[in-house]
Amino acid sequence: MFYNFLFPQYCRDRVISLLILALRVFFGILFFSHGLDKMINFNELSYTYPSVLGFGSYMTLMVSIFCEFACSLFLIVGLLVRITVIPMIASMAVAFFDIHDGMFPAGELSLIYMILFVILYITGPGRYSVDYLIDMKFQRDKKASEGVK
């Protein structure tokens, strides 16, 4: 069951997979740039960054950088996409509902990211991803081990 969650078999058509790849790469790079900006300006932001859920400014900034910088890299290459987008969805939900109070236009970008990450969670990484390569290796190993029996 967990295997099917990580490596979904649907949405592997070439055209759909190309669309998913384009979304992953384009929005992954955009999201990465937000994290990179936070890393570059870390010293200034660590004192002024909004404190969320009682974590304090420093810890909230660290979690934001993890979500926007590290998770974006995993998303771009398509590695553990369904696990990777969970903190990204949570981060954007907090940004939209807590930081921006669910208001437009201030929270519009965080809502767009959140919806996109939910869509990627549902579809999975597609055919052009590291997850797909891992799945193919598992499938080959499974067939090989069944052939030995």
Q: Where are the domains of the chain?
A: 12-148
The tens-digit pLDDT sequence of the chain (149 residues) is 677 777 777 666 888 899 999 999 999 999 999 999 999 999 999 888 988 888 888 999 999 999 999 999 999 999 999 999 999 999 999 999 998 888 889 899 999 999 999 999 999 999 999 999 999 998 898 888 887 65
pLDDT confidence of residue 81: 95
CB distance 90 to 84 below 8 Å: no
Q: Angle at which helices 81-94 and 57-65 pack, to 10 degrees? A: 140
Q: Angle at which helices 14-40 and 108-123 pack, to 10 degrees? A: 140
pLDDT confidence of residue 10: 66
pTM, rounded to two decimals? 0.86
The dihedral over CA atoms of 146, 9, 70, 93, expressed in degrees to the nearest 10, equals: -140
pLDDT confidence of residue 13: 80
pLDDT confidence of residue 149: 59
What stretch of H or E contains 145?
helix 130-148
Instruction: Read off the tokens for 26.
Output: 């384009």
